[in-house]
Amino acid sequence: MTADGRTGGRADGLTPFQTVGPYFAVLPLEGENSASAASTIVIEGTVRDGAGAIVPDALIETWQADATGRCDAADASFRGFARAMTDESGRYEVRTEMPGSIGKGHAPHILVGVLARGVLTRLLTRIYFPGNAANATDPVLALVPESRRATLLASATAPDRYRFDIILQGPGETAFFDA
């Protein structure tokens, strides 16, 4: 309680989300667009809105297991986290290593958070990789309606390059999660 009897500033429950806004500019983390000191693959894509327009002010964040499927290795050479803003053409790019499986039946995947002006609460989704047999048994992918699963599948554009477009709304809308 403060001098004027208000309880402001004192938390009495979960702190709400607010939009990241159009002017995100923090002190950069070292090598923040790469999840690993030894990244071998590139993931790139374009973010679009419900009118098909590019989103040039999105902050894309990724989190994933290392190549052995560990998520808690706390290894300075493998951070597991990367982030990048989309550019004026709506394109983002992060570098990483191919994740391993976190357990039996789980397909390799990367968690993705999408923050942007006009996005009040972070959107959460996953990237899966094409041609992986475990995609058929993955317990999270199985919960996504079959007609929408393709939205979570990256496409290989070169041996070490994957494309993962994010559509916030409308035809081809990316499947987003409530976890």
Partner 1 sequence: MIPGFRRPPAGVHPPLDSPAYRATSLRHPKEPLVIVPQTLSERTGPVYGQDTVGPGDHDLTRQHAGEPVGERIIIEGRVADEDGGAIPHTLIEVWQANAAGRYAHKGDQHSAPLDPNFSGAGRTLTDAEGKFRFVTIKPGAYPWLNHPNAWRPAHVHFSLFGPSFLTRLVTQMYFPGDPLLAFDPIYQSIRDERARNRLVAAFELDVTEPGIALGYRFDLVLRGRNSTPMVD
Span 60-89, contacts to partner 1 by CB under 8 A: 61, 63-65, 71-72, 74, 76, 79-81
User: Closer CB to partner 1, residue 154 or residue 168?
Assistant: 168
Residue 145, CB-side half-sphere exposure with 13 Å CA sphere: 7
Centre a 10 Å sphere on the Cβ of residue 115 and count the other Cβ atoms it contains: 21
Among 91, 116, 128, 132, contact with partner 1 (rule: CB under 8 A): 116
Instruction: Tell me which DSSP letter residue 16 carries.
Output: P
Stretch near partner 1 under the rule CB under 8 A, chosen from 25-33, 36-44, 128-136, 156-164: 25-33
| Closest listed residue to residue 43, CA positions, set 127, 108, 123, 116 | 127
* CA dist., res. 119 & res. 50, Å (int): 13
- Report in angstroms how near the CB of residue 163 gets to partner 1 at its nearest: 20
Residue 123 beta carbon to partner 1: minimum distance, rounded to whole angstroms: 7
Q: Any idea what the Cα angle at residue 22 is, between residues 14 and 151, rounded to 5°?
A: 75
Residue 158: CB minimum distance to partner 1, A: 26
15 touches partner 1 by CB under 8 A: yes
Q: Does 118 bind partner 1 (CB under 8 A)?
A: yes
